[in-house]
Amino acid sequence: MKNCIFCKIIAGEIPSVKLYEDELVYAFLDISPINFGHTLVIPKEHHTSVATVPETIAGRMFRVGSRLGVAMRRGLDCDGFNLHLSDGTVAGQVVMHAHLHVVPRWTDDGFHWNWRQLKYESDDARAEIAEKIRKHLKLDNQPGDAPAEEPEV
């Protein structure tokens, strides 16, 4: 898509440090890493949301992300890795081309997720939340699944 920095990276119009590429996905170093080696795995097709990425491509993103994590363990001697994906501005998505972060982690690397732990008021409250989600779960793409693609400028 025109004016998408990640589409431009795939097209070679913006330089990137490539780690892997196949017919479905492209993986490259994040320009402002959480830790050195932090990588992004993106679908070659432009999708704003991961929810509209076809299953084969989404599966490849996850597989490549996981194997990059293993390569980081071996090559960078990290102790683990995070796979992270932000979908939507409120969730922290800045670049509107779906992408999976692969972040190598070391003991004492100084990075902490701000992960809070709420408590459900009651079993009924928990069941109600589950049902609200369950009744809308559809595994095929539906209109309105994802935010509209940005208009071409």
User: How far is it, in rounded angstroms, from Cα 62 to Cα 58?
Assistant: 6
Is position 42 an interface residue for ligand 5GP (rule: CB under 6 A)? no
Tokens at residue 143, please?
Answer: 């209109």
From the list Zn ion, ligand 5GP, none, pick the one residue 28 interacts with, judged by a Cβ distance below 5 to 8 Å according to partner type: ligand 5GP
Measuring CA to CA, how many Å separate 147 from each of 2, 97, 120?
17, 12, 29
CB 120 within 8 A of CB 56: no
Contact map string, positions 56 to 95, toward ligand 5GP, x by CB under 6 A: ------------------------------x-----xxxx
Q: Which of 46, 48, 24, 28 is nearest to 37 (CA)?
A: 28
User: How far is it, in rounded angstroms, from Cα 67 to Cα 82?
Assistant: 12
> What sign has the CA pseudo-torsion 57, 61, 95, 28?
negative
Among 7, 34, 83, 85, which residue sits at the site for Zn ion (rule: CB under 5 A)? Answer: 7
Contact map string, positions 79 to 118, toward Zn ion, x by CB under 5 A: ------------------x---------------------
Select from 28-36, 46-54, 68-76, 142-150 the region that touches ligand 5GP (CB under 6 A): 28-36
* Residues marked as catalytic: 99
Q: Which residues bind ligand 5GP (CB under 6 A)?
A: 5, 14, 16, 28-32, 40, 86, 92-95
